[in-house]
Every structure is written in structure tokens, then in C-alpha cells.
Amino acid sequence: MGLSEFALIDRFFRDCGARRTDVSLGIGDDAAVLEPPPGKQIVAAIDTLVEGVHFPLHSPPASVGHRALAVNLSDLAAMGAEPAWALLALTLREVNESWLAEFSRGLDTLAREHHVALVGGDTTSGPLTVSIQVLGFVEPSRALKRSGANAGDLVFVTGSPGDSAGGLAVELGSLHAATQPARTYLRERFLFPTARVALGRRLLDFASACIDVSDGLLGDAGKLAHASRCRVELEYSKLPISAALLDAYGEQRARELSLSGGEDFELCFTVPPSRIVDMERALPAERWGYSRVGVIKQGTDAVVVDNGTVMDFSHSGYDHFSTVR
């Protein structure tokens, strides 16, 4: 006879994540009782990952646990928030204890890295689906938003967007031309993305706007442009392309993927010219892993320019309801 819901929770999730003193009552009751710190606002984010949509069939379970939390941590990072608590809703086709052990290990490792406590959730039967809600804190009226950019601000992005798209191709078995080191690097970037939480917190002192890059750099830059009522001009020659993506696809296709590939979970942010020197002194780019990729202009869209000429890109980002992956 398989594990009951309560035995499953007790075995795999009761001790998952960090231990926090602001959790008065965690897993095991009808709801969690939490104590937000005085003088802070609560920031909340929730994402759902569906097998076959957000991760391939038979993905490594540790990666599924990691990614399910990382996507939410990235959302909080884009707001400059400090993550604290998480709730998990897990739908399973069957109770596979080996799968659950690896899934909870991936979730637990990342949660502890960011001092996040798992405080509750739900399990049910059905197609494999993982929903995680993360709650965190930010100082009153200081949360970064998409709507703060102004003409003249410079545009930055962390990491090397496009790597996750390359890694997904490796995972699906459709990328054959790359060297083994490149394949290994790209696959790791897809399976275990980095949540830029520490940088997001530090950007509160410098950035005017910020957005999580989950649907492609160009598409998400367009969302920032719409919210800020401005134009984002991304410079084609300044896109940070990893050596692995270049190895796998060549320069032109790699640059296309850096603009349109989804699920990198990087940060795209804008900084006023008056704050650039202070930011680069406090947050050296080589340590914090960001690159300048553009500028804010008057307008209401996001475009890619090369030597002053606007380039034509037909695909601006991933949309769950208009694209079949």
C-alpha cells in the first residue's frame, strides 16, 4: 500500500527548507502562522510548472524541485525583495518515493541557500504539476517595479540570456552540433537556473525599474517598456552571449536565442545615468554578472538596434497561450 497524503508530507516535506524564527506554526496544521517583521511590506509571487509544458517528460526530479522554487525567487528578486516563506501545491500521477526524495532534495537545497522556509501546501492526484508561492519582505514603498524607467536610463541584463533555450534543446535531444562541454553547460543552465536574489536586493539603491526575464529578453523588455511608457532599445552587438551558446548555434542564431529564448530567469533592469558610477563601484559587473545592453528612449515599445538601425525580429517572447513548445 502506498503512502498516505499525510505520510508523504511528513516524510518528504516537513523538514524541507530553512528553519526560521518568524514561523510560529508551519507544516502540519490547516494553515501556517507567520510573523512578518515590523516596518516591512509583504511581497508575494506564485508560479505553476506543468510537465510537458515547463519541463520535459522525465526531467530530473531534483531539477523540477529547484526550478519550481527558482522561478518564484526570480520574481521576488525583480522586486528587490528578501524571500522568507514558501507554500507548495504538488499534483502527482503516482506516489514514487524515489522521485519524491530527489524532488524534495532539489527544493530543499535551493530553499536553504536563500533561507526560505517551506510552511505548508497541498498534495493531490493528477498530471504532474508543481505550484509554489513564495512570500518575502521589502521596505515600504521601495519595491522595484516595471514602471520606473525614464528616457536616458541605461538598460542592463544579468547572465547570458538564451542559455536556457539551448539547454532545453539538449534536454529534448534536438541539439547535436555542440561540443560536449557546451552541451553540459547549457543543460545545467536550463535544469538549475540561478535566482539573482542578492543582486535584486542591492539594486534597490540604484535601479529605476526591473523585470524578471522569463519569456525572453526582448519580450520582457517590451513589458517593461509598456509599464514605463517608454522605448527600450537593445543593442544587438552588446548582447552577452555565452561561449557555449556560440559553440552550439553560431553567432546569428545565438543572438536570436538571447533575445527570444525563454526561462532564463535573469534580471533586466534600468539605471539612471546619475547612479551608474555609484552602482559600478558598489556592484562590480564582473562580480555580480550583469552587462549593459541598451538605453531607454521616448516611445512605448522594445526594439533591437544595430549601428543605429532598428532590426526586424518576428518573435518577441514566449507566450503559453499562443505557442506550442
> Is there a common fold for 5-138 and 154-310?
no
Helix (H) / strand (E) containing 112: helix 97-113
Q: What average pLDDT does the segment 13-22 reach?
A: 93
pLDDT tens per residue, range 84-117: 999 999 999 999 999 999 999 999 999 999 999 9
Residue 320's pLDDT is: 44
Cell of 128: 504532474
154-310 CATH, one of 3.90.650.10, 3.20.20.450, 3.40.50.1100, 3.40.190.10: 3.90.650.10
pLDDT tens track for 150-205: 999 999 999 999 999 999 999 999 988 889 999 999 999 999 999 999 999 999 99
Q: Name the superfamily (CATH) of residues 5-138.
A: PurM-like, N-terminal domain (3.30.1330.10)
pLDDT at 188: 97
Task: List the strands of the sheet with 117-125, edge to edge.
Answer: 41-50, 129-138, 82-92, 117-125
Residues 6+ apart with CB under 8 A from 184: none
Would you state the pLDDT for residue 322?
43
What sign does the CA torsion over 159, 263, 136, 15 have?
Answer: negative
Chain segment 56-75, per-residue pLDDT in tens: 988 999 999 999 999 999 99
So what's the pLDDT on residue 321?
38
For residue 14, pLDDT over 70 is answered with: yes
Burial 190-227, CB ≥16 within 10 A → b, else e: bbbbbbbbebbbbbbebbbbbbbbbbbbbbbbbbbbee
Work out the percent of the chain whose per-residue pLDDT is above 90. Answer: 85
Segments making up each domain of the chain, as ranges? 5-138, 154-310
Least confident of 11-20, 124-133, 205-214: 11-20
The C-alpha atoms of residue 203 and residue 101 are separated, in whole angstroms, by 36
Q: What whole-number distance in Å separates Cα of residue 136 and Cα of residue 253? A: 38
Quick check: 313 pLDDT over 90? no
Longest dimension (CA), the chain: 67
Judged by average pLDDT, the poorest of 172-181, 234-243, 281-290 is: 172-181
pLDDT of residue 315: 53
- Give me the residues paired with residue 25 across strands: 33
